Amino acid sequence: MRGMVPEDVFELAGVADPRVSPDGRTVAFSVARVDGKANEYRAAIWLAPMDGSSKPRQFTSGTKRDADPRWSPDGSTLAFTSNREGESSQLYLMPVAGGEPRKLTSLDEDVNEVVWSPDGSTIAFVSRVRDPAYKEKDDKKREPRRFTRLKYKLEHVGWTGDRPQHLFTLKADGSGEPVQLTSGDFEDSGPRWSPDGKTIAFLSARHPDWDTDHVSDVYLIEAKGGEPTRLTQGGGGFDGISWSPDGGRLAAGRYPGEWDDPKHTQIGVVDAGSGEVRLLTESLDRNCSPYPQIREPIWDGDDIVFAVEDRGNTHVYRVASDGSGKPELAVGGERTVTGYDVAGGRLVCSATEPTSLSELYIDERQVTEVGKGFAEGRQLVPAERFTATSADGTEVEAWVMKPVGFEPGVKYPALLNIHGGPFTQYGNRFFDEFQVFCGGGYAVVFSNPRGSSGYSEEWGRAIRGPGDAGPGWGSVDYEDCMAVIEEAVRRFDFIDGERLGVIGGSYGGYMTSWIVGHTDRFKAGISERAVNQWVSMWGSSDFGWDFKGYFGKFLFEDVQAYLDISPATYAQNVHTPLLILHSENDLRCPIEQAEQLFTTLRLLKREVEMVRFPEESHELTRSGNPVHRVQRFRIVLEWFDRHLK
């Protein structure tokens, strides 16, 4: 049986965002698929009985992207978002008993973060509000953009300074137009109704000069409108909130500290009167906000349920909200949870493993089989965990995957894969990258070097600097990556140590560019959406300046430090054939990062190629146009085949 090939991207599917009905009898969830012919993503809402009395059934048409199912408090209606009538996703309501969906909004921008009021009469959501200049469709006549805030653009979103995100409410019976609750040049998100329906809590940054730091707070606003009030008092950030059943507290994801990255996001409770925050998860010494974020911490009686990154897995934990006990594992295993909900002590989740797409589980019972056909139609390769010892004696967790068609006694080329972040993790989940490489005849090696999440906070902070804060990027993380590939060559006799390649994106692209500038160990490399020159990245990226949290200083305070950790500084040492992949609409690591390294290497007459993807962002490999994702896979395999086979 063949392995995964690039065109199989068109066959990918998965379950996400499970939500249990108020009576605890039904779970709604989304099933996403790829439409190769239309070069688009599709999604439908499905329903499944909690008791397993019947099979899951499709609820919405799924002809476009139907997502974000949200139950009305009485369980009779599902709200969801869909782009079925245009480019932007709007709000729809549909009776659970059946019938036609009713469209409630016709806004210029997407409707997101839909939440019902406790009495079911009103729905809150967020959407972006365009400057009047957007009414001019001809860019040759359009008024110029004028910005006074640093946070004027955002990766995968575009311009934000002239289309900020705000809170809206809307009568659920459709009797009126959406009412904009918040305004100003702020970014508001995460609305949550208080149990009595009188107040909406949300996340924002509205202090003076909010755009020059990464402090965010919990704000409160009356549901009928008015001026928001700041509940918490800075000193870090929040990334998810939910009210306690009695309305006296809010569960929250709390990122402690400012200009002190990375830190573990902790789960805490916020007093709804004083704003005082009490952390509940410090004993875990794990990051309680997986990337990408799954959802906010939620209440189950007096407990709070939340997600945790742990050694390549994403698990679900619960903790007593009064701080009376330590967090306890609720969903574990060698897997990655992609969504969860809980009702009456019963937990549902969506989860993925290295050889299976994301499926729905109720009390650990698998309910869906959306990926069954995909798994049965091709050979998917499991991952084997191993440990390498770095130069200073530190042990590093890593994984290896054998090529499809593996035969004992045969040696195969191997690819060292390096994740982005750096404060993210590789691990136990289905990853199309690895399966395509294995299907192409390569052994795959990947790891979580120092700087990764999923381990102790000390592990994540090991590459701060350079300077007093630590050794900086390209130090012990480089040593860890090299130790992993050398240990793989030593331990697994099927890996050909003379045919090694290295590939990574974002921080992984940075590390690839760094590696080929510091060793000739690899026969070929691919650097994707990388940071190559920190000096220009500092001002051209949507958030380049915020790396003071890692480095300890702004660029203008220590230019030399930024040069010292820039791969472009060492480009003269690059002799490894290098393919540079980048997206032309990347706002996180702008295209000039690729151009700088390509220009230098070409002038040095080194073997280098640059591939530019039009109309794509930093998210190309994850959510880019399906056709471009397939084209990218073909280019990657062709490059490595040329140099390693």
Task: Cite the active site residues.
Answer: 506, 618
Q: Two tokens at 12?
A: 């990918």
Q: What whole-number distance in Å separates Cα of residue 216 and Cα of residue 254?
A: 10
Torsion 19-42-380-309 (CA) sign: negative
Instruction: Please name which of 478, 429, 387 lies closest in space to residue 290, comparing C-alpha atoms.
Output: 429
- What is the enclosing helix (H) or strand (E) of 633? helix 626-644
**Contact, 586 vs 531, CB < 8 A?**
no
Length of the chain (residues)? 645
Q: Two tokens at 384?
A: 């084997």
Q: Where are the alpha helices (DSSP H) in 541-625?
A: 548-551, 559-564, 592-603, 620-623
DSSP-derived pairing of the beta strands 313-320 and 328-331: antiparallel
Q: What whole-number distance in Å separates Cα of residue 477 and Cα of residue 483?
A: 10
Q: What whole-number distance in Å separates Cα of residue 359 and Cα of residue 366?
A: 7
**Contact, 622 vs 632, CB < 8 A?**
no
Instruction: Please name which of 353, 404, 354 lies closest in space to residue 379, comparing C-alpha atoms.
Output: 404
**Contact, 269 vs 251, CB < 8 A?**
yes
DSSP string, 509-532: HHHHHHHHTT----SEEEEES---
Angle in degrees, 0-180, between the axes of helices 626-644 and 432-439, rounded to the nearest 10: 40
Is the link from the previous residue into 292 a cis peptide, with omega within 30 of 0? yes
First to last CA, the chain: 22
Instruction: Please name which of 536, 547, 385, 562 lies closest in space to residue 466, comparing C-alpha atoms.
Output: 562
Instruction: Please name which of 184, 25, 47, 17 lies closest in space to residue 113, comparing C-alpha atoms.
Output: 17
DSSP string, 402-447: PPTT--TT--EEEEEEE-SSSS----SS--HHHHHHHHTT-EEEEE
Cα–Cα distance list, 57 to 35, 289, 372 (Å)? 20, 31, 16
Q: Read off φ and ψ for residue 479, nearest 5 degrees.
A: -60, -40
**Contact, 639 vs 620, CB < 8 A?**
no
Q: What is the DSSP letter of 143?
A: P
Cα–Cα distance list, 164 to 88, 200, 202, 407, 614 (Å)? 16, 19, 15, 56, 26
